[in-house]
Amino acid sequence: KNQVEQSPQSLIILEGKNCTLQCNYTVSPFSNLRWYKQDTGRGPVSLTIMTFSENTKSNGRYTATLDADTKQSSLHITASQLSDSASYICVVSANTDKLIFGTGTRLQVFP
């Protein structure tokens, strides 16, 4: 069964600190992996999209890594800001148009 699992389920950090979110997937065949940021009550916004051949991609303070062999990805947030408080969703696409969503990691950044 195609699945995407994320950890931790929730995370609290202080402003200015770094953090890393994890994603494991069992989707096959693999096409691409995406990280989305979803603010409360809003739609998800894309942070990165990575294909099989990419093992790292950055978007400002966000850096995603992908290990297609172990089927793992991580999202590293550097120098966190209050506005980073949101849910971060890992999404994997098989060789179709369908996206398989994880349940997300809820990040709270406190001053």
Partner 1 sequence: EADIYQTPRYLVIGTGKKITLECSQTMGHDKMYWYQQDPGMELHLIHYSYGVNSTEKGDLSSESTVSRIRTEHFPLTLESARPSHTSQYLCASSRGTGIYEQYFGPGTRLTVT
Which of 18/26 has CB closer to partner 1?
A: 26
- Is the CB of residue 63 less than 8 Å from the CB of residue 80? no
The Cα-based distances of 58 to 49, 64, 70 in angstroms read 10, 6, 21
Report the residue number, 35 or 109, with the smaller CB distance to partner 1.
35
* Residues in region 12-71 near partner 1 by CB under 8 A: 31-32, 34, 41-46, 49, 51
Which amino acid type is present at position 60? Answer: G
Q: Minimal distance in Å, beta carbon 58 to partner 1?
A: 17
Other beta carbons within 10 angstroms of residue 35's beta carbon come to 25
In this structure, what are the phi and psi dihedrals at residue 55, rounded to the nearest 5 degrees? -115, -5
Using CB under 8 A, count the residues that bind partner 1.
Answer: 24
Residues that bind partner 1 (CB under 8 A): 4, 31-32, 34, 41-46, 49, 51, 89, 93, 95-99, 101-104, 106
